[in-house]
Amino acid sequence: MGSPSFAEYLHVSKELMHVFILLILAWVLIGLSRSLVRVFRNYMHTRISSAEEGRRVETLARVFRYTSTAAISLVAGMLALSVIGVSIAPFLGAAGVVGVAVGFGAQNLIKDYFNGFFMLVENQIRQGDVVEVCGKTGVVEDITLR
């Protein structure tokens, strides 16, 4: 059991360099996606006529920015693990099982987020609207996904 050879050090350094490049690429892609969301948001602000629509655009921009950042980070993490030789198949299998369990457990929460997203996109309810829910009447002050 001797000391590692130069070839082994070279192999490890190549893997680390690939991971480093992958992380830089992910960082650039996250920055690019945020810039695209910002450009879209600014473009939409030039097309809207009310402050209410502006708040709606801001909410949608936040959702898209978060979703793109999470997706890019997840893919980059899986690729980095793959590059250094860690099999991602067990992670994906475990994620599937956990996803099913969380899906059943948080079914109402997930349903609320999807309903909130579609309410925002379809503009079903607006700030300032008077609503009645379960016999209670009130004014909509803020709209979020949940």
Cβ burial, residue 53 (10 Å; 0-12/13-18/19+): middle
Same domain, 109 and 61: no
Distance separating alpha carbons of residues 126 and 35, to the nearest angstrom: 27
Same domain, 92 and 144: yes
Same domain, 64 and 128: no
Distance separating alpha carbons of residues 38 and 92, to the nearest angstrom: 32
Same domain, 40 and 79: yes
Q: In the prediction, which pLDDT does 114 show?
A: 82
Instruction: Report the candidate in 63, 57, 32, 35 with the shortest Cα–Cα distance to residue 44.
Output: 57
Tens of pLDDT, residues 65-113: 988 999 999 999 989 988 888 888 888 888 888 888 877 888 888 888 8
Confidence label for 146 from pLDDT (cuts 50, 70 and 90)? low
Same domain, 121 and 143: yes
Total structural domains in the chain? 2
Q: Is 3 helix (H, G, I), strand (E, B) or coil?
A: coil
Instruction: For residue 19, give its domain range.
Output: 1-86
Same domain, 81 and 92: no
Q: With contact defined as beta carbons under 8 Å apart, do 116 and 145 qualify? A: yes
Place of tokens 């650039």: 28
pTM of the predicted structure, to 2 decimals:
0.65
Task: Give the end of a domain, one of 86, 108, 134.
Answer: 86
